Structure 1
Amino acid sequence: MASTRTIISNNSSARLSTPPPGIIFKFPVGIDLPQGPPDGSLFAGSFDLLMDIRVPVTIATVYATCVHILNRSRGPGTQPARFARTTLFKWLVNAHNLFLCVYSAWTCFGMTGSLVRTVIETSATHARGSSSFWRGLCSLNEGIWGHGLNYYGFLFYLSKFYEVLDTVIILAKGKRSSLLQTYHHAGAMLSMWAGIRFASPPIWIFVVFNSLIHTLMYFYYTLSGLNIKVPKAVKRALTTAQICQFVLGGSLALAHFFIYYFDPGLEQYTSCLVNPGQTFALWFNVLYLAPLTYLFIGFWIDSYVLGRKTVLPRDQ
């Protein structure tokens, strides 16, 4: 192993070192599926099928293509679809917003609770310290993957397909879907697939951070849909929180490259990332976040610096 810099000089402490050679830039081929969600849980029987790369690639491609075609057919005078003018449509949109708000809150609390319990359990079986914390995050056998991430993360991956309804609502209103909107949804499907397919430890960040932001965002949409006036400062705070999520989350994810925790079973330090699939998923997510952050910053400048009339990425 490459020489390490110990955070605290005992095996209860994690170590920082160079990323493990041989896997950091290796394409993931022939890697078995990880442990799926618990038997009997929602969609557990379809885990293998839904983890096929063709599923997210096909849906994301069809989604982006259809949006592009429909965007080109929309001009300034495009009218909303007839159904979009009805009271039923309005209440269906409100129900959609409320469902995603409640679901996101459930995911955030459930995933955070699982994370805390896992770290406590790993600390109870070994000396407390940063090593136990990172073992709880990284170990596929003892860590968060089999204690919640394989369940909440898998469902969160599936929710990215459902969120396409956001774009359907925009188009039904006779409006165009922005590049930010389309890229965000299509990229999220593929990013979550990579993280869950390869059980990449940093994907817990996507699940926790994104579900928290979505809880607040869809609560905002719910209030707006009920014609409850929300101060502009709230909208600005939501956009700022989105950008902070990308920057902080991406930085924390990259830190996993350099973490080594003490494995008491092997009696040696082990890298947080152990195969090319995990590193591929991490690179994919970080590279997805870079242009997404750029687009959100551009939106923030247009809205709050230049004072242009803009809306949050999902206009309702």
Structure 2
Amino acid sequence: MLSSIRPDLYSSFSFKNSLAEAMPSVPHELINSKTLSWLYNASLDIRVPLTIGTIYAVSVHLTNHSERIKKRQPIAFAQTQLFKWLCVLHNAGLCLYSAWTFIGILNAVQTAYRITGDSNAPFSFNTLWGSFCSRDSLWVTGLNYYGYWFYLSKFYEVVDTMIILAKGKPSSMLQTYHHTGAMLSMWAGIRFASPPIWIFVVFNSLIHTIMYFYYTLTTLKIKVPKILKASLTTAQITQIVGGGILAASHAFIYYKDHQTETVCSCLTTQGQFFALAVNVIYLSPLAYLFIAFFLRSYLKSKSS
């Protein structure tokens, strides 16, 4: 059911207090590895996305203003067959990884719904929201695990920008903002175990499966109708706008816990509310940039 936002989530908000909240537990799939357990905790330090994101954004800005980029001059390696096949490997790898994430998180949603409600009962929105919001449901059935790897993948995805720059093309504001913001948004969602982060993982992994498949085809010089590229951009805009609205709704969602018979709010900590705010704020300019790209690339080119 819908109600007002819990005042304690924002009235006395303190980022310092949010950072003091307990770290989420290491996913059970990683718990037996000391190295991966250490990596999980270390990579969720706020300094990791801030440092990498800043280095990335500054490096792209400086490279964009270099003489080579101004002259649209690719590096020598970018003109080799090896570079082409490395790009194919990069795109195909991210396509397969994104598909693995999408299938995995859908299975986790199904499992979470099954353990949250009565398996013999008809479909219930209360059970659905309970499976999304309860820390004992979707988070433990797979969101912590798949979401964490998805967070790490955002650092690797800057290779997209490296490929563009290597070809002598500038990186657009959309490209740079998209990658930098994704690092911080996914960090916040996983660090604070914020329920709405499931939307980012589900929607984005699906879109990326299609997008990187498209990039794989174009890298192999397989002709793809322009309408498919326009459709992909439309899907991205739909994901951003629809996902942002759906994510924001979590702040107003309450559900009945079947075990305790109590009504619980979907967001229970200031950290979770902060993560939601970060994602919604990030998505607003991103939607504008994607819509501007769509108008510039497809509608204006068609009219001219």
What is the TM-score with the length of structure 1 in the denominator?
Answer: 0.89
- Give the number of the structure whose residues are more often helix, by fraction: 2
Q: CA separation in 1, counterparts of 2:47 and 2:169?
A: 30
After superposition, the CA RMSD in angstroms is 1.7
**Is the 1:135–1:261 contact (alpha carbons within 8 Å) kept by the matching residues of 2?**
yes
Corresponding position of 2:14:
27
SS of 1:285's equivalent? helix
Q: What is the CA-CA distance between 1:31 and the residue it aligns to?
A: 0.7
Give the structure 2 partner of residue 298 of structure 1. 292
* 1:285–1:126 CA distance, 2 compared to 1 (3 A): farther
Q: CA deviation at 1:154?
A: 0.1
Once the two structures are TM-superposed, the CA of residue 76 in structure 1 deviates from its matched residue by 4.1
> What is the deviation of 1:36?
2.1
Q: 1:44 to 1:125 in 2, by over 3 A?
A: farther
CA-to-aligned-CA distance 1:22-53 (integer Å, 9 cap, x gap): 11352341211112222147934311101000
Deviations 1:78-101 (A, max 9, x none): 321111111101000000000000
Unaligned residue ranges in structure 2 (runs of 5+):
none
**Per-residue displacement from partner, 1:103-137 (whole Å, max 9, x unpaired)?**
00000010011101110221137965222111111
Aligned to 2:125: 130
Could you tell me which residue of structure 1 aligns to residue 144 of structure 2? Answer: 150
Q: Distance in 2 between matches of 1:122 and 1:267?
A: 13
1:43 aligns with 2:36: yes
CA distance in 1, matches of 2:186, 2:210: 20
CA distance in 1: counterparts of 2:205 and 2:148, whole angstroms: 13
Seq. identity, %: 55
Cα contact 2:64–2:70 (8 A) shared by 1: no
Deviation at 1:229, TM superposition (A): 0.2
Q: Which structure 1 residue ranges, 5 or more long, are not aligned?
A: 1-14, 309-316
**For 1:305, what is the secondary structure of its paired residue?**
helix
How many correspondences in the alignment? 294
User: Aligned to 1:241, which of 225, 235, 241?
Assistant: 235
Q: TM-score, normalised by structure 2?
A: 0.93
Structure 1 ranges of 4+ moved more than 6 A = none
Provide the C-alpha distance between the structure 2 equivalents of 1:296 and 1:287, rounded to a whole number of angstroms.
Answer: 15
CA–CA distance in 2 between the matches of 1:130 and 1:171? 47
Contact kept, 8 Å, 1:126 with 1:132, in 2: the verdict is: no
The 1-side partners of 2:120 and 2:255 are apart by 12
